[in-house]
Structure 1
Amino acid sequence: MIQGSNHSVIPGLPAGYLHSIFGYSSTVEHRRAFVFDAVAALNALKSSWQNLPPNWIGPDPCGSSWEGITCTNSHVTSIVLAGMGVIGSMSGDILSFSGLQYLDLSNNKDLTGTLPPSIGNLKNLSSLILVGCSFFGPIPDSIGSLQQLVFLSLNSNSFSGSIPPSIGNLSNLEWLDISNNKLNGTIPVSDGTIPGLDMLVSTKHFHFANNLLYGAIPPQLFSSNMVLIHVIFDNNQFTGNIPFSLGLVQTLEVVRLDWNSFSGSVPSNFNNLTSVNELYLSNNNLTGPIPNLTGMNFLDYVDMSNNSFNVSDVPPWVSRLQSLTTLLMEHTQLQGQIPVNLFSLPHLQNVVLSNNHLNGTLNIGTSYNNQLMLDLQNNSIANFAQSAGYNIELTLMENPICEGAGASERYCSVSQPSNSSFLTPSNNCTSVVCSSDKVSSPNCKCAYPYIGTLNFRSFSFSNLTNSSYFIFLEGSLMSVFLSNLLPVDSVSVSNPTINIYSYLQVRLQVFPSGQDYFNRTEISTIGTLLNRQSFQPLSYFGPFYFIDENYCCFAGPNKSSNIGIIVGAVVGSFVLVLLLVCAGIYAFHQKRIVKTATEQNPFASWSPDKSNGNAPQLKGARSFSFEEIKKCTNNFSEANGIGFGGYGKVYRGTLATGLVVAIKRAQQGSLQGALEFKTEIELLSRIHHKNVVSLVGFCYEKGEQMLVYEYIPNGTIRESLSGKSGIRLNWMRRLRIALDSARGLAYLHELANPPIIHRDIKSNNILLDEHLDAKVADFGLSKLMGDSEKGYVTTQVKGTLGYMDPEYYMTQQLTEKSDVYSFGVVLLELITARAPIEKGRHIVREMEEVISKSKDPHNLHGILDPTIGLGATLGGLEQFVNLAMSCVKESGPDRPTMGEVVRKIENIMQLASLNENTESTFASSSNEEEAERNSNHPYGNEAFDYSGGFIPFDIQHY
């Protein structure tokens, strides 16, 4: 973006476009009046907003090139402050810019308040982008006065109330995104006197997902003269029939109507939508015949699961969709034999036909795609033609073929989900270990990347392990960044995951070129390029939005030709030289001191007078020398290694006292500063509860940072549920584990001083000791509540996908209820033994589906872990399911506290004890000595997978 000139470029708009829309005439008097008004308005913004660019100084924002301000003919035509960390509320002063065309304040999590009705005064505004802020209240009706508006994106806020009918007046509007808010009411349509959304015949994008919208969709909303490309209405509360008029919009490419309560038959004219690529109709109450999609030859993704269609054979049109990659028709009343020609589709990757009435012999032929995943659980299939040799991922559990002693373990057991982790490989360069918080780029250069998540509302493939899709994504991103003259060295995408809303999430890192940091203008330009949808990744990826993580650092304000700045720079350089000389002299004298100090315990240099706050305030933890740690780990031998993560290695050791411990040794790139490490130790040493893993001590010598924890021998809950640990958990033992871990978490929330939010509760972070008592572990992402009067901590989103609270993800506002959500997912794992996300299906959605579709809401056939009770009556199961589902409610205030969870589990255990008398708490496939040698140790691999660094604690280190 070039500022302060007539050559300004707003990302996402074609070259020359701004010249045509910003063509103001200018006189000297007009300019003087404008400059006065603009400076007054911008200074008013400075007084009401915090954390603004430091170069907002001087009498003329255009002449001085204020960061984020773009001018044309001395008029402020663009304000782009995306991702700059601006704090405040939408001030009426911004409305003084009558010539403003482009306003992007996205990804400023601390921008809050309501949109003032006076926003309707910005008559020249063409783009309004407020993605990922914290605005709330109604969308003002005056927004319908912005007649020049082309792009309106308000998603990922907390707007409430109904959709303003006046939006129908925006005849130039092409993009309308109001998703991920709290909007309610029905969709407004015109009635001759009041406008409505049916008037938006030039709009290409209706994105209304993840709101509280309800009622029937008016048939009047759609018509054949519309040019809609995306109709994304998923995750609302719509009822009634899908309107027949939707089938008239033949420009459609993506249709998402899933997770609503639509009923009746699918309109018979749906096969007129021959340009549709992705069709989502799942999780509704649709009846009648399975829709005939003959002729929709561009379909690559079809999801009709969990509806009540008429009993039907697999429809013949399925085998003719040559572009099809994904077919999801679970629980759709299918019967008969699956046609063999279905599996010969050249691009087919994922077929889920579970929970139907399919029978006969399964024949997959010989021309199937080797990437194919085929899920046929809970049908009536009796034989498999290729049982002796095939090369796909196949599941046939709960079919007659899997009954009896001779059943094949290969396809009659739950297959483990494939690892979908993808990380950009180094570009034929030697990898480097970066210091501080820097990250190595794909070009092996250490820098501070701009990080965030791309959320794709649709996508055309299912195989997340196929790196070619993501390499293509990286290439597309680099192309748009470089074409906009951004100093980008490389981009990296990783960790593709399907979230609870069935969206594809991809972690994005953008690395600067020729410098360690991006400056503010570069960050905001990257953000606006993404959320203005300048990036179009062709057919693999559908519409998306970008939520960033607060950028750690900026390289400073842009250079300017302003004479005052140049003079200041010269003077500053002179002073800097003097300072460098002094610093060199000082460094020479300090070098010998530092050399000696690094060989000693830095704690010794802090005053032993605890009253002054310098000495570590330890409660139960002790300091170990490096030699002690070296001795107890047998010189850090490989035989004693029990895990490895991003922070370094974990070793098992035996202290001189005989106590067995786990020692976490940071690698060089993960070392913290002395003060941060001291703070972390102090905080960890305060935690004393039988259901929380204890800190035994630490070592800080010879450039090493190590933490010493109590050793927990029986692994994680996840290892026991998956069978890796050899421990079988019956119903009473699972209840006891739930109670233990709930008590540990309640202690952190309610008794620790200050209260602690764990932020990464998951089954891999709850460990089982020698008595199978559960202990909460891994405080690498934890946050202190401190004296927060707001009841939440605003922080960048971190955690583990599948367990992460959707409300926290959307608002970046962390509360104790975020831990409650994660714990609810763990409770669901305890009764299902399923991972939170398997084959793109989230366990919360799976359970909701079972409850909503079953005549008996607590008939968990098909989802309950078959080893949980071995035929015994599971007393309190209904109450346990109710508790788990209350923990994962969408809104945090609707969830119980952890103290309430503890009391409810205690009551459930009393109820369960009336139904069964359990003498054996567990059964192990190996004796105690073998279990102790188990290589799948809780401190290893994923169980202690920290998000960067050695147990990072963000601002406050735990």
Structure 2
Amino acid sequence: MTPLLPLLLLCLLPVTAAAAASLPADFTALLAAKAALSDPASALAAWDPSLSLSLCRWPYVLCRSPGDPSVASLLLSNLSLAGEFPTQLCSLRSLSRLDLSYNSLAGPLPACLAALPSLRHLDLAGNAFSGDVPRSYAAGFASLATLSLAGNDLSGEFPAFLANVSSLEELLLAYNPFAPSSLPDAFPDGLPRLRVLWLAGCCLVGQIPSSLGSLRSLVNLDLSTNNLTGEIPESIGRLENLVQIELYKNNLSGRLPGGLGGLKKLRFLDAAMNRLSGEIPADLFLAPRLESLHLYENDLSGPVPSTLERAPALSDLRLFTNRLVGELPPEFGKNCPLKFLDLSDNRISGRIPATLCSAGKLEQLLILNNELAGSIPAELGQCRTLTRVRLPNNRLSGAVPRDIWGLPRLYLLELAGNALSGTVGPTIALAKNLSQLLISDNHFAGVLPAQIGSLTRLVELSAANNGFSGALPASLADLSALARLDLRNNSFSGELPHGVRRWQRLTQLDLAHNRLTGNIPPELGELPVLNSLDLSNNRLTGDVPVQLENLKLSMFNLSNNRLAGNLSPLFSGDIYDDSFLGNPALCRGACPAARRATARRHSLVGSVESVLTIAVAILILGVAWFWYKYRSQSQYKRRGGAEAGGNKWVVTSFHKVEFDEEDLLSCLDDENNVVGTGAAGKVYRAVLANDDVVAVKKLRRVGGAGAARKDKDGMKDTFEAEVATLGRIRHKNIVKLWCCLRSGDRGLLVYEYMTNGSLGDLLHGGKGGLLDWPTRRRIMVDAAEGLSYLHHDCAPPIVHRDVKSNNILLDAEFGAKVADFGVARVIDGSRGPDAVSAIAGSCGYIAPEYSYTLRITEKSDVYSFGVVMLELVTGKRAVGPELGDKDLVRWVRGGVEREGPDSVLDPRLAGESCTCRDEMRRVLGVALLCASSLPINRPSMRSVVKLLLEVSSKTAVVLVEKEPLGA
């Protein structure tokens, strides 16, 4: 039978050719479109006649029916396609839906699409189309229902003529840099079906026309982030189908129109960041479905209407930064599922309503900087959903209800600047999630409970200017996450707690104006990031520990204590003139005779001790020399392999290397060569015999049988991942792996040495000022090109999974390379997003969806790189005390929304030119796009590279995440 097979195939060839000749026109059009597009991810590889002659079986293609092979839908969203629009698609006469959103298509919009008779849904959002919107779009599109061109680079006049497309149901043109234009004075009655009008960020000026009230089917109206002026027209109150109104960040003025309470379907109203004035209309809170009302940062005045307590569906109310006065309705919250309340920076008085959490859903209560009086309601202590409570700078008094101290989900409790009294209750041990406890400037008294040491997540404890007394609880030393401890101006007594070396993250310690006694713990000098130390006005004794010389302090005050002895020469400079005042027995240099009187009786003992000290020092030096020689010989034998009973080192080279392994290993004995330490092990700088410099990562091992076995597996994962990844890829912006060495369960990775270390250390260390804006922009482009290579040019693609500033290394010229591939994963696109068993990455850089789905895609890296870009633009760390309770992404978004993009730019770049600052704003917009909460909204890394390269010619548009209904 076998010899007949070739003959059978030859007989089938004419049939196949005949079938190909009779293929439908749509088949040919799709193949031509595929040929015209750049497809780096091979998303359209299956569009191949040799694989299937039925285009209805091709991915992303839907036909009209099983018996009709005409193309009805083409769904090509988010596939990294590039190039100009393939005009061959305009011949698909049965096409009803075309979705090319979130790719990298550029050039002009295709005019030919308007001639497609069946087209109902056209989505070209999130590309780089430029130029004008073709006027043919107004005359064509006989049945078009959805037109989405959002997030492109369209310019020219705003296409008001699109209002003539009478079949439109959704018009989405947001975030395009149109020339400043006004909305049409009269919206025609020919848009009876229009449900979604999304025109945010379109550079619109002028007033909102009252004719907008003729769009009676409108469900979602979004005109936010423009420059609209004048009043909000009352005709909006006639749009009975409205669900969402977004007017935030304009220059609207005047009063809020009446009648909005009659909108029976209204759920979301946001008119924040405008210049609205007058009182809030009383009927507004009577809208039966109103869930979210944002009117913050306006000039609203008068009382909060009493109808607020009758709002049936309200869950999110933000009225902060206005001029509201008067008391809150006493039963506010009783009839609605309130979750978020922010009334900060007003002049609201009276008591806090006890009913705020009646529905048991309140999460955030923010009423700072008002005139609230009375006690905090005990009912709030039963509100176990609370996560943030901020009530500082009011006139609250009385004791804090005991249950509030122990709310289990609370991570921020801020009560500073009131007249609260009583004690901090032991129930605080239940507040396991508490990160910030800010209770300064009150009348609290008693002791701090020992249970406060169980708050393992506590980052900031500020209780200054109170009446606390007693000893500092020893459990304070257990707070290893603590970054700021401020207990000044109380009556604490006793000694500082032992074990303070566990405060490895502490940046500020202020215990001034207390009654502390005893010695200053030398361990304070071992705290690596402490930069503010104030122990003044206490009763501390003893000398000033020399270990304090290790600290790099911007604020240092030990004045008005009872310290004695000679100061270290380091503390003799003028900069410390005020640091030691009020310590009569403390002196610089040799103490005068009067001060030595106390020490004379110890002189003989001191002489004997000196002799003994010298003798012991000589003995120790002798033993150390002997041990060094013995250890050197032992290590030499161990490296020899067989003669020491160990395994020989096996070397695998990926580039030509010229060094002896003994030269390499000898550099690992000196801890002075350590240039970095991570979770996987230490990194050493090694100078070889030929004067080449390399970086060597020595993977960590753990003692003990079980531990060693566990570590061996973990080391193998990291080791094999880096070798498998870096051993096969080559790119100028990926760190080069020279070779690897293995010996049993030990592993060494030898890389090219990067002179300027990691971006994170340089940017956030003392040398951050070296990085001017052009250097930072170049670093972004280099790193983006490295990640783009991993995502788009490797087959299959590689996801790094731990993109952060510490994993971007800089050479002598500040060229950037991506490093540390210990948790990298290869992505098999045929299986969809890969699932992992545990989260990899670093806090502040992890994409939101990754943390709860454990699914990895290239978009996870894009989010992390967006955070790195924000670090370079703002100079801030991804997480840190300076950001409060936010990560960097939320901090930047909040700053941009409140005060504009300039408010978040790195102040160290203040001297840059106007051109550079324009570029910073544009890069900020790209970074926020990368850090979008939804993966579909993030660009590909190839698009990021393109955006960064073109940033000098782009129009500045800062995209603040605000996603409307139907968009």
- 2:156 is aligned, of 161, 164, 186, to 161
Deviation at 1:608, TM superposition (A): 4.0
Alignment map for 1:776-795 (pairs within 5 Å) = none
1:776-802 deviations in whole A, cap 9, x for unaligned?
9995699xxxxxxxxxxxxxxx99879
Partner residue in 2 for 1:180: 175
For 1:180 and 1:812, how far apart are their aligned partners in 2?
A: 24
Other structure's SS at 2:286 match? coil
Distance 1:821 1:407, change over 3 A: farther
- 1:305 is aligned, of 271, 275, 296, to 296
The answer to whether residue 923 in structure 2 is matched with residue 892 in structure 1 is yes
Distance 1:337 1:751, change over 3 A: closer
1:864-914 deviations in whole A, cap 9, x for unaligned?
9xxxxxxxxxxx999599999948954239999xxxxxxxxxxxxxxxxxx
Partner residue in 1 for 2:111: 117
- 2:130 is aligned, of 127, 133, 136, to 136
1:792-816 deviations in whole A, cap 9, x for unaligned?
xxxxxx9987999xxxx99999999
The answer to whether residue 768 in structure 2 is matched with residue 741 in structure 1 is yes
Other structure's SS at 1:56 match? coil
The answer to whether residue 146 in structure 2 is matched with residue 151 in structure 1 is yes
Quick one: which amino acid aligns to residue 181 of structure 2? T
Deviation at 1:345, TM superposition (A): 4.0
Partner residue in 2 for 1:201: 192
Asked if the contact 2:101–2:126 (Cα under 8 Å) also holds between the matched residues in 1, the reply is yes
For 2:357 and 2:114, how far apart are their aligned partners in 1?
A: 60
- 2:83 is aligned, of 79, 88, 91, to 88
Partner residue in 1 for 2:629: none
For 1:399 and 1:416, how far apart are their aligned partners in 2?
A: 27
Alignment map for 1:530-541 (pairs within 5 Å) = none
Quick one: which amino acid aligns to residue 46 of structure 1? K
For 1:839 and 1:818, how far apart are their aligned partners in 2?
A: 7
Other structure's SS at 1:287 match? strand
Quick one: which amino acid aligns to residue 122 of structure 1? L
Quick one: which amino acid aligns to residue 344 of structure 2? S
Asked if the contact 1:186–1:216 (Cα under 8 Å) also holds between the matched residues in 2, the reply is no
Other structure's SS at 2:767 match? helix
Asked if the contact 2:343–2:366 (Cα under 8 Å) also holds between the matched residues in 1, the reply is yes
Distance 1:291 1:66, change over 3 A: same
- 1:825 is aligned, of 870, 874, 879, to 874
1:149-176 deviations in whole A, cap 9, x for unaligned?
1122222333333332332232222222
1:127-186 deviations in whole A, cap 9, x for unaligned?
112233332222222122101111222223333333323322322222222223333443
Partner residue in 2 for 1:604: 652
TM-score (normalised: structure 2): 0.50
Distance 1:880 1:374, change over 3 A: farther
The answer to whether residue 721 in structure 2 is matched with residue 672 in structure 1 is yes
Partner residue in 2 for 1:589: none
Distance 1:841 1:811, change over 3 A: closer
Quick one: which amino acid aligns to residue 740 of structure 1? K
Partner residue in 2 for 1:519: none
For 1:155 and 1:696, how far apart are their aligned partners in 2?
A: 46
Asked if the contact 1:825–1:888 (Cα under 8 Å) also holds between the matched residues in 2, the reply is no
Quick one: which amino acid aligns to residue 284 of structure 1? N
For 2:868 and 2:188, how far apart are their aligned partners in 1?
A: 39
Distance 1:48 1:697, change over 3 A: closer
For 1:184 and 1:241, how far apart are their aligned partners in 2?
A: 22
For 2:804 and 2:268, how far apart are their aligned partners in 1?
A: 35
Partner residue in 2 for 1:317: 307
The answer to whether residue 203 in structure 2 is matched with residue 212 in structure 1 is yes
Instruction: Mark the structure with the bigger radius of gyration.
Output: 2
TM-score (normalised: structure 1): 0.50
Distance 1:205 1:681, change over 3 A: closer
Deviation at 1:117, TM superposition (A): 1.8
Asked if the contact 1:829–1:835 (Cα under 8 Å) also holds between the matched residues in 2, the reply is no
Distance 1:780 1:376, change over 3 A: farther
Distance 1:801 1:163, change over 3 A: farther
Deviation at 1:214, TM superposition (A): 2.5
Asked if the contact 1:75–1:99 (Cα under 8 Å) also holds between the matched residues in 2, the reply is yes
Partner residue in 2 for 1:285: 275
Deviation at 1:120, TM superposition (A): 1.6
Asked if the contact 2:127–2:152 (Cα under 8 Å) also holds between the matched residues in 1, the reply is yes
For 2:63 and 2:650, how far apart are their aligned partners in 1?
A: 54
For 2:268 and 2:432, how far apart are their aligned partners in 1?
A: 27
Distance 1:607 1:799, change over 3 A: closer
Deviation at 1:326, TM superposition (A): 0.9
Alignment map for 1:694-713 (pairs within 5 Å) = none
Partner residue in 1 for 2:417: 403
Partner residue in 2 for 1:42: 30
Deviation at 1:403, TM superposition (A): 3.4
Partner residue in 2 for 1:19: none
For 2:307 and 2:96, how far apart are their aligned partners in 1?
A: 48
Quick one: which amino acid aligns to residue 68 of structure 1? Y
Deviation at 1:398, TM superposition (A): 2.6
1:97-148 deviations in whole A, cap 9, x for unaligned?
23322212223x2322221222222122111122333322222221221011
* Higher percent of residues as helix: 2
More RCO (CA 8 Å, sep 6+): 1
For 1:707 and 1:369, how far apart are their aligned partners in 2?
A: 58
For 1:673 and 1:601, how far apart are their aligned partners in 2?
A: 18
For 1:839 and 1:362, how far apart are their aligned partners in 2?
A: 32
For 1:55 and 1:801, how far apart are their aligned partners in 2?
A: 38
Quick one: which amino acid aligns to residue 183 of structure 1? F
Quick one: which amino acid aligns to residue 163 of structure 2? G
1:51-97 deviations in whole A, cap 9, x for unaligned?
36234344996567444344443433332323333332113222122
Quick one: which amino acid aligns to residue 898 of structure 2? E
User: Unmatched 5+ residue regions in structure 1?
Assistant: 1-30, 420-598, 634-640, 644-648, 688-694, 710-715, 720-734, 768-775, 783-797, 865-875, 897-946, 948-952
User: Unmatched 5+ residue regions in structure 2?
Assistant: 1-18, 397-415, 436-646, 688-694, 701-710, 752-757, 788-799, 808-815, 823-840, 848-857, 928-934, 936-940, 944-967
Partner residue in 2 for 1:98: 93
For 1:261 and 1:811, how far apart are their aligned partners in 2?
A: 36
- 2:228 is aligned, of 221, 235, 238, to 238
For 1:258 and 1:143, how far apart are their aligned partners in 2?
A: 29
Quick one: which amino acid aligns to residue 244 of structure 1? E
The answer to whether residue 394 in structure 2 is matched with residue 380 in structure 1 is no
For 1:126 and 1:253, how far apart are their aligned partners in 2?
A: 23
Asked if the contact 1:761–1:823 (Cα under 8 Å) also holds between the matched residues in 2, the reply is no
Partner residue in 2 for 1:127: 121
Quick one: which amino acid aligns to residue 48 of structure 1? A
Distance 1:652 1:86, change over 3 A: closer
Partner residue in 2 for 1:559: none
Partner residue in 2 for 1:56: 47
Quick one: which amino acid aligns to residue 652 of structure 2? A
Distance 1:404 1:269, change over 3 A: closer
Asked if the contact 2:338–2:357 (Cα under 8 Å) also holds between the matched residues in 1, the reply is no
* Number of residue equivalences: 591
1:543-593 deviations in whole A, cap 9, x for unaligned?
xxxxxxxxxxxxxxxxxxxxxxxxxxxxxxxxxxxxxxxxxxxxxxxxxxx
Distance 1:211 1:55, change over 3 A: same
For 2:434 and 2:782, how far apart are their aligned partners in 1?
A: 37
Distance 1:190 1:280, change over 3 A: closer
For 2:925 and 2:750, how far apart are their aligned partners in 1?
A: 38
Distance 1:668 1:606, change over 3 A: closer
Deviation at 1:232, TM superposition (A): 1.7
Distance 1:744 1:661, change over 3 A: farther
User: Superposition RMSD on alpha carbons, in Å?
Assistant: 6.2
- 1:364 is aligned, of 329, 354, 358, to 354
Asked if the contact 2:332–2:353 (Cα under 8 Å) also holds between the matched residues in 1, the reply is no
